[in-house]
Amino acid sequence: MDRISRFKLVEETKKIFKSRFSVDPAHTSSAPGRINIIGEHTDYNLGLAMPVGINRWVCASISHRVDSQIHVFSKNFNKSLQLDLIGNIETTDLWEKYIVGILSVVKQRFNIKFGFNMLLYGNVPIGAGVSSSAALEVAILGSIKELYQLSITTNEFLDICSKVDNDYVGVKSGMLDQYVSLLSDKQGPMLIDFSKSSHKNLKFSLKKENFILINSLVDRKLARSDYNVRVKECREALELINSKLDQSKKIYEIDCEDLNYLDRHSIHYKRLYHVVTENQRVYKLLSAIKEGNINMVGKILSYSHKSLSENYEVSCNEIESIIKVSNYAPGFYGGRIMGGGFGGCTVNLVDSDRLEEFESYVHYHLCSKYSLNVKIERVEFSDGLKSH
């Protein structure tokens, strides 16, 4: 089930939809999970990031109903949700919050009279830091948009997703995940500038290197983790600098010199130091790729990890063991913790000719030295949201 083509996954979703609801779906949307090559915890700080969609997707098949009922079935969780367009509903499961959140925001903005049947199915690993939640949101909203022929611009689309995360799920996240799940291009990663809400699709390809994910299988539940605390710490740090400067600089205008207004040993200094240098690393990595300097690309990934671990403090013991072992593995150029952190995956750049050696080395040493079982995933780039 893990590795399946987009086409097959969509066909499978349509088939399950038909057997569940006894009609063919009117539309099916598929939205990818993502890797983030560099630029971590920069999105809500209006900085830079270089993500790309991956060949793991969430699909949402949908058809009209004649009444005002909403019937949703999640094949992955084997659970259903029924609600009425009119009225509110209490949700318990996280996946339900996304449906109810999206519906509530859509209802506030558009006049929707009839309900729908929806089937959700996908192969994006859940809780692994590869953005299964954003893929779910983007697929759900994509299918609703098609069904009701809603005219939603890209910015509105992202805005709805962000409102759902912030107000219904309770994670004060930035736009990284939805951005890439919606707009990714399989030709290469995106370079996103969150201060301008703009991006470029980079047309580079690595010739002989692969991005490999090592899933620690430590579930990082963003809403309950310290993610929101990091968001708050960065805002406080900015306020502190501005109060000392007697200015109102935006966070993306802060540079290393401004950091001198903070106590070097404080949490606030460490957090913003990560953000400022991570933005610099995005550009450095871009140049290294353009120059074909793969060793440098690897080094920059590893510097990013060090900063995420020591300054931003979003790593954990299992991830540290993975990084230690990977450092000695054959074909490894560099790697780092990816996504929100506190578990999940590392993203690693590995020589394509040595993938098997790399994988068996990592499995063997993590198991024998640290009693750690991990899941290794080879990923390819994918386009963003598609309607089928």
Active site (catalytic) residues = 177
In the complex with ligand GLA, the residue whose CB is nearer, 21 or 44, is 44
Among 43, 193, 209, 258, binds ligand GLA (CB under 6 A): 43
**Burial (Cβ within 10 Å: 0-12, 13-18, ≥19) of residue 78:** exposed
**Angle, CA 250 vertex, CA 190 and CA 265 arms, to 5°:** 95
By CB under 6 A, is residue 313 in contact with ligand GLA? no
In the complex with ligand GLA, the residue whose CB is nearer, 160 or 176, is 176
Residue 49 tokens, joined: 């990031």
By CB under 6 A, is residue 122 in contact with ligand GLA? no
Stretch that binds ligand GLA, among 36-44, 55-63, 64-72, 244-252 (CB under 6 A): 36-44
By CB under 6 A, is residue 51 in contact with ligand GLA? no
By the 8 A CB rule, do 95 and 77 touch?
yes
By the 8 A CB rule, do 323 and 345 touch?
no
Which residues in the 126-145 window bind ligand GLA by CB under 6 A? Answer: 131
In the complex with ligand GLA, the residue whose CB is nearer, 322 or 366, is 322
Stretch that binds ligand GLA, among 14-22, 41-49, 255-263, 300-308 (CB under 6 A): 41-49
By the 8 A CB rule, do 158 and 134 touch?
no
Stretch that binds ligand GLA, among 75-83, 144-152, 173-181, 316-324 (CB under 6 A): 173-181
DSSP assignment of 258-308, as one string? HHTTS-TTSHHHHHHHHHHHHHHHHHHHHHHHHTT-HHHHHHHHHHHHHHH
Stretch that binds ligand GLA, among 99-107, 141-149, 174-182, 379-387 (CB under 6 A): 174-182
By CB under 6 A, is residue 342 in contact with ligand GLA? no
By the 8 A CB rule, do 199 and 153 touch?
no
CB of 82 to ligand GLA, least distance (A): 29
By CB under 6 A, is residue 96 in contact with ligand GLA? no
Q: How many angstroms separate the CA atoms of 185 and 202, rounded?
A: 9
Among 13, 173, 309, 311, binds ligand GLA (CB under 6 A): 173
* Interacting residues of 319 by C-beta distance below 8 A, sequence separation 6+: 216, 218, 309, 337, 341, 343, 344, 346
In the complex with ligand GLA, the residue whose CB is nearer, 13 or 346, is 346
Q: List contacts with ligand GLA (CB under 6 A).
A: 40-41, 43-44, 131, 173-174, 176-177, 339-340
